Amino acid sequence: MKLYLRILSYLGPYRWVFLAAVAATFIFAALDAFSLWLFIPFLRALFGTGEAQAAEEPNELLEWLVANTVGRAVDMEGDPLEAVQGIILFILVIFLIKNLFDWVRQYLVAWVEQGVTRDLRNQVYDHLVEMDLGFFGRTRMGQIVSRLTHDVEQLRTLVTKEVAKIISSVFEFVAAVALMFVISWKLTLMAFVVLPGVFLIWGPFLKKLRSGDRKVLDLAGQVHSHIQETLSGIRLVKSASAETFEKGRFHDTTGRYFRRFVRTERLRALSSPLTEMVGALGTVVLLWYGARLVVVGGELGGEEFIGFLALSTKLYSPAKYLGKLPAIIQPGLMAGERIFEFLDAPIEVRDRPGARPFPGLEREIAYENVTFGYREGAPVLRDISFTSPKGSVTALVGPSGAGKTTLVDLLGRFYEVSSGRITIDGSDIREFEIRSLRGHLGMVSQETVLFHDTVRANIAYGIPDTPQERVEWAARTAFAHDFIMELEQGYETVVGERGVQLSGGQRQRIAIARAILYDPSILILDEATSALDTESERWVQKAMARLLEGRTVFVIAHRLSTVQRADQILVLREGRIQERGRHDELLAHGGLYRRLYELQFSEDSFSGSLAARGAPDTDGSGAH
């Protein structure tokens, strides 16, 4: 019940529009049933009471209804042809008004439908972008996209389309029953003999449908994930000649989705023939009993029986829909559960009560016995302690997986420390507002993030109202202005998804221009030149030299040649600081740093000899 109420709560902001749609639906259902009831006075006028099979005792309620509806507009006792023409015109007016209200209800439902869809997507998206990085590390991106698109669409259908159809079916059912009761209460009771079968028919199947729909949605997320992961890594797929391998994996995933979907729909498809048979049985019962009332008992006129049968068609249609309803709403309910799993996922990194704005760095950043693990009992960093004075450059080096990136991620509170603390000027960073703290933090990484937008929008990302002069100043400082002006539309050139229209060096300089525009006091560099050719690296190094001026810098170094001028170098291994000092000191010490340096020096010498022999550029940036 809580799930149903939570789903229906999305109608709250549109309750008045929805209530207007309900009112229009009620009027439409009443006029729809009334238009079929008009067969009775039409047949009376067409055949006359003498020729029609009349009841032995007139139905006073029916006669009163005829006199106070059609009888007020048409002379039922006059010329039969004029009466028939008048009733036909009356029916046409009823149909016109009925369809007007049908248009109104459909328009209002569409309004609510799209409003709910927008609100759902906005709420899920807003929550997702607030989630900490740990959530995205645990959750496949395709599953996220699937729930934001496919599942929201399923839930939207349930909240608006199906709810509106439920209300419409109930009103149609009630209107038909009311007019049928006016004609014959005995025949109306007989119509209900088979209705319980319609509502009970799906009981045994609901559990299987619920499980099947959940698996279908999960598999749909896997299909999305596979597509996204493959396209994101298409360069690797091509270079490894793994097209056939990926096709096989994808065909296996879509095959499992196909089989589960068909199996579930096979069960759901039973609703139509089974409920149809129950409806047919009900019609047979009505024909048999109604004929006895007309021919044997004389309790019902022929035109009244025909009118009753016409109304009964409006009775079984909503009854069949309501009988199938448990099967119909299962996908929406499962989609709702999956969406609410995301919405209920806790934001583990959030502002503490009473958090204050970050005032800026004045003296130093200190890590005090910091330990952190992505999973409990599996620490990535262990007992990390060091101090970085304001304006200093701290380099982090070590083997892959040593915890270098994790260490700087903790400074931006992308994760929370498991134990210990990080302080700025003696204050725990958890005392500061997250947005304010990150506003003083700039990051330039090896994997440059550019959006499918203009060069200007990518430089001024997050601060779109920045004056053009300021954007150009940042680009000039990053040595990017000249190549930007050579692009087809200058700063208004769209760089393509992930900046594919630019070379690696150009993308990096755009990212550096963005960091310069932000003017952060604390800067994190995740070796931004390791994948660049020599010329691009030279330009990026010049841009970074300007970016470093007057800032407190953390450098994650893959090329040890880039950290020789660092104020301190921290050598990490298996989550611990194994060595620390300046470049010359660490070389003289003869430990891990020296081994890494000598190993890299020999690799660089080998690469240099290949370049001297004309080895091709492998990073692809020369294509631009």
Per-domain residue ranges for the chain?
Answer: 14-204+270-344, 366-623
CA distances from 196 to 97, 175, 191, 328, 624 (A): 34, 19, 11, 18, 72
Which one, of 357, 514, 373, 546, lies nearest residue 438 by Cα?
357
Count of CB atoms situated within 10 Å of the CB of 480 = 29
Give all strands (DSSP E) within 561-614, no chain letters: 568-573, 576-581
Which one, of 589, 519, 599, 524, lies nearest residue 559 by Cα?
599
The CATH number that domain 366-623 falls under is 3.40.50.300
CA distances from 350 to 250, 259, 468 (A): 38, 43, 34
- Residues facing residue 422 across a β-bridge: 367
> Please, what sign has the CA dihedral across residues 381, 386, 392, 393?
negative
What pLDDT does 607 receive? 46
Q: DSSP letter for 45, please.
A: H
CA 157 to chain centre: 14
What pLDDT does 100 receive? 93
State the Cα torsion 272-277-281-282 to the nearest 10°. Answer: 0
CATH architecture of 14-204+270-344: Up-down Bundle (1.20)
Helix (H/G/I), strand (E/B), else coil: 257: helix
Decide whether 14-204+270-344 matches 366-623 in CATH topology.
no
What pLDDT does 612 receive? 44
What pLDDT does 53 receive? 45
Contact 544, 572 (CB under 8 A): no
What pLDDT does 590 receive? 78
Contact 360, 411 (CB under 8 A): no
- Residues facing residue 616 across a β-bridge: none
Q: How far apart are CA 612 and CA 221, in angstroms?
A: 49
Q: Which helix (H) or strand (E) holds 556?
A: strand 552-556
The low-confidence residues of the chain, meaning pLDDT below 50, are 50-56, 531, 603-624
pLDDT digits (tens, 9 = 90+) for 24-56: 988 988 888 888 778 778 877 777 654 444 444
Q: In what order do the strands lie in the sheet with 427-428?
A: 381-389, 364-372, 419-424, 427-428
What pLDDT does 387 receive? 92
What pLDDT does 606 receive? 39
pLDDT digits (tens, 9 = 90+) for 575-624: 888 888 888 888 888 788 888 777 765 544 434 444 444 444 433 333 33
Q: DSSP letter for 375, please.
A: B
What pLDDT does 618 receive? 37
